[in-house]
Amino acid sequence: MLILGSLPGDASIAAGEYYAHPRNGFWAIIAELTGIPVALPYRERLGRLVAARLALWDVCAAAARGGSRDAAIRRRSVVANDLEPFLHAHPDIRLIAFNGATAAALFQRLVLPALEPESVAIARVRLPSTSPAHAALPVARKVAAWRAAVWPVLQNG
């Protein structure tokens, strides 16, 4: 499974780590789904993601944005990551899971048109954003939504 965010926020960029903001629920959700402890050092968590057959990346390679909120991404400034070579090199990917609506929308607009038919055929699901900006949905409900969408893939990995 490939999990795609939109673009790292300021805390993640400063730390050089995905989902580094202390209130982002990503690692807590991953811990619930995979048993990977949040307290592990970042590099160990990444290693365990790979062992669980989970890939983590962003739709955007670069974009102009004031602050960390997805809503502040200047859409015309977005440069998408070239996902086709990655998907081609990993033909066993069965699900692309988007961490939030912005990642899904950017993928739809900028990445999907450039994909080969085999990559277009990969199942896709938009999940609730783990961002603290989306605090209206409690973490427990986010975990339930993520579990419902990705648990079959994790179990059959």
Write the CATH number for 130: 3.40.470.10
pLDDT exceeds 90 at position 123: yes
Domain carrying residue 65: 2-156
Asked whether the predicted pLDDT for residue 67 surpasses 90, the reply is: no
Mean pLDDT computed over 119-141? 86
pLDDT at 115 (0 to 100): 96
Q: Which helix (H) or strand (E) holds 97?
A: strand 95-99
Whether the model clears a pTM of 0.75, i.e. scores above it, the answer is yes
Cβ neighbors of 96 (< 8 A, separation 6 or more) are 1, 2, 4, 107, 122, 123, 124, 125
* Residue 75's pLDDT band (cuts 50, 70, 90): confident
Is there a catalytic annotation at residue 24? yes
Q: How many structural domains is the chain composed of? A: 1
Does residue 25 have a pLDDT over 60?
Answer: yes
